[in-house]
Amino acid sequence: MAEHTIGTYLIDQLAAHGVQHVFGVPGDYVLRFYQLLEQRGLPIINTCDEQGAGFAADAYARLRGLGVVCITYGVGGLKLTNAIAQAFAERVPVVVISGAPGLGERRAHPLLHHSVRDATSQLRVFEQITEAAVVLDDPVTAAYEIDRALSAALQAKRPIYIELPRDMLSVPAVPLLAVDPVPPASDPGSLDEAVREAAARLSAAERPVIVAGVELHRFGHQDLVADLARRSNIPVADTMLGKSVIGEHEPFYLGLYQGAMSHDEVRDYVEGSDCVLLLGVWPTDVDLGVFTARLDPSLCIAACDEQVSVGYHGYARVRLADFLIRLCAVAFPPRTLDGVPHPPVPARTPCGPDDRITVTELYRQLGAFLTTDMVVIADPGDAMFAAADLLTGRNEFLAPSYYLSLGYAVPGAVGAQLACPALRPLILVGDGAFQMTGMELSTAARFGLDPIVIVLNNGGYATERPILDGTFNDILPWRYSRLPELLGAGRAVAVDTACQLEAALAAARDRGRGFYLLEIRLSAGDMSPALRRLTAQLAAQTAA
């Protein structure tokens, strides 16, 4: 085996896990590692800001299985914490590599730039928001620690933190032990019993339904759930966080379930079912329609990463994959999908040349515009909530719909297009969110990417106005469509009417000219019915 330094070992392990890009902003504690990354063929996508790099690495990981962000100490690392907290909350395996002061210089001069309290401050912050946090300060254990941390990220689908003191970069590494990446197996007895009881209930049910959740995506079980739906003819609803787990054009697709915020037909079907199979669903407030979901636990089968419950019976140590594989082999009684509702395709309302663009019309046109070579990336706000009705394909919708950090979509699109160059990003972003990280369009331009960017300009924080309004929900009205002039790249257009939108979307199909930004100038107070329903619930909660 060729001799490795700690730096080369780390880089080669990342490449071995399919990583082809690293996102970040350099600083003196990490510059030599950046040089080494380039020398070993891992290009660096340097973003305008570290948070942008974190979101880009997150989207890259959602599509490819692992993402990497590399930053300098303190000023860089601590700016990443929001993005990494989101990755932890939503189970996305992102590797954070932070350069750090060398061990030698720490001994000589404790007051080194970018330090906070002491040499462990940043490490302790990341321990809270990662699955494993390691410092490569010992040549004997460094390679082992790298393997152990990477294996933790891949198994738990959560971020990890690797701190690299700059004087350890070129120290020889000793690959000692292979870390066994085999995931814990299901308990055979528990698995048998869980499958038997679940299969009996699903077979006996008159109107069973599957609700597909986020873990199916994170653990790569999309084929299994589609297979189960096809074999059993049990219809499938998805959740906002699980949107993109299944193709929403499939014949067995019922619609998006979100408690009382769902369309009536979907809510009635799911809540009227006598056996609801919840696969990888997290009962978050957003996915349960701010806890308006009415699911009788005695009629539910819930399967997550490591346990299954059937009604009130719990089965420990049952892996979701094993449970699904076994369910796919069950001979269910024949059923048809007759009578199962399908999501309505919004009708085209004839519009005159001067008809003002509305959120409803925007999403109707986007529904007709979307093709299977696009990935929709939505920021929290009406951009994301209105997208509930947008039918997307498998792996073609990304949104942080649990942790809900604004500013995800533009940098996320940079990561997504680099992860899957065959997919063109369609970014849905509010004006407030755009003002947070929209400058990452500069990164998209620099690296030759061509997202379509839909900025919903509604004069500020529309999501918050129905909850509690004040001048704090206003923002400076930027001229978003002037951005190409500033960046010297891309195209943009301001859209006031439905007809202008049709023309702009037709022009957006033309590729090869960088990003295309559509500034959608909405009337004050215009919002999607989905957001109206959500904010009514949130307002009631805030007032309570």
Residues lying near Mg ion in the complex (CB under 5 A) are found at: 430-432, 458, 462
Taking the complex as a whole, the smallest distance from the CB of residue 449 to ligand TPP amounts, in Å, to 22
Q: Which residue has the tokens 């001229």?
A: 479
- The amino acid at residue 306 is E
Q: With binding defined as CB under 6 A, does residue 205 bind ligand TPP?
A: no
Residue of 382, 396, 440, 450 interacting with ligand TPP (CB under 6 A)? 382
Q: With binding defined as CB under 6 A, does residue 232 bind ligand TPP?
A: no
Q: With binding defined as CB under 6 A, does residue 358 bind ligand TPP?
A: no
Q: With binding defined as CB under 6 A, does residue 407 bind ligand TPP?
A: yes
Asked whether 150 and 136 are in contact (CB, 8 A), the reply is no
What do you get for the CA distance between the two ends of the chain, in Å? 65
Separation in Å, CA 535 to CA 247, 261, 528, 530: 28, 10, 11, 9
**Distance (Å, whole) CA 317 – CA 61:** 26
Instruction: Identify the H or E element spanning 427.
Output: strand 424-430
Give the sheet arrangement for strand 374-378, strand by strand: 397-398, 374-378, 424-430, 452-457, 516-521, 491-495
Residue of 47, 244, 258, 458 interacting with ligand TPP (CB under 6 A)? 458
Q: With binding defined as CB under 6 A, does residue 462 bind ligand TPP?
A: yes
**Region binding ligand TPP by CB under 6 A among candidate stretches 196-204, 324-332, 366-374, 455-463:** 455-463
Q: With binding defined as CB under 6 A, does residue 406 bind ligand TPP?
A: yes
Q: Closest by alpha carbon to 518, among 508, 509, 528?
A: 508
Taking the complex as a whole, the smallest distance from the CB of residue 470 to Mg ion amounts, in Å, to 15
Nearer to ligand TPP by Cβ, of 297 and 477: the residue is 477
**Distance (Å, whole) CA 499 – CA 495:** 9
Nearer to ligand TPP by Cβ, of 410 and 508: the residue is 410
Partner that binds at residue 137, options Mg ion, ligand TPP, none, CB closer than 5 to 8 Å by kind: none
Residue of 74, 259, 381, 514 interacting with ligand TPP (CB under 6 A)? 381
Separation in Å, CA 47 to CA 34, 123, 351, 438, 447: 14, 23, 41, 11, 10
Nearer to ligand TPP by Cβ, of 173 and 462: the residue is 462
Give the sheet arrangement for strand 132-135, strand by strand: 44-46, 22-25, 67-71, 94-100, 160-165, 132-135
Taking the complex as a whole, the smallest distance from the CB of residue 416 to Mg ion amounts, in Å, to 22
Burial of 194 (0-12, 13-18, 19+ CB in 10 A): buried
Q: Which residue has the tokens 């904010």?
A: 535
Taking the complex as a whole, the smallest distance from the CB of residue 495 to ligand TPP amounts, in Å, to 16
Nearer to ligand TPP by Cβ, of 324 and 398: the residue is 398
Kindly identify the residues of this chain, within the stretch 416-445, that bind ligand TPP according to CB under 6 A.
430-433
**Region binding ligand TPP by CB under 6 A among candidate stretches 73-81, 99-107, 260-268, 374-382:** 374-382
Q: With binding defined as CB under 6 A, does residue 463 bind ligand TPP?
A: yes
Nearer to ligand TPP by Cβ, of 48 and 321: the residue is 48
Interface with ligand TPP (CB under 6 A), residue total: 19
Asked whether 447 and 45 are in contact (CB, 8 A), the reply is yes
Residue of 83, 132, 387, 404 interacting with ligand TPP (CB under 6 A)? 404
Taking the complex as a whole, the smallest distance from the CB of residue 432 to ligand TPP amounts, in Å, to 3
Asked whether 296 and 253 are in contact (CB, 8 A), the reply is no
**Region binding ligand TPP by CB under 6 A among candidate stretches 157-165, 262-270, 336-344, 379-387:** 379-387
Backbone angles phi and psi of 180, in degrees to 5: -75, 110
Binding region for ligand TPP (CB under 6 A): 379-383, 404-407, 430-433, 456, 458, 461-464
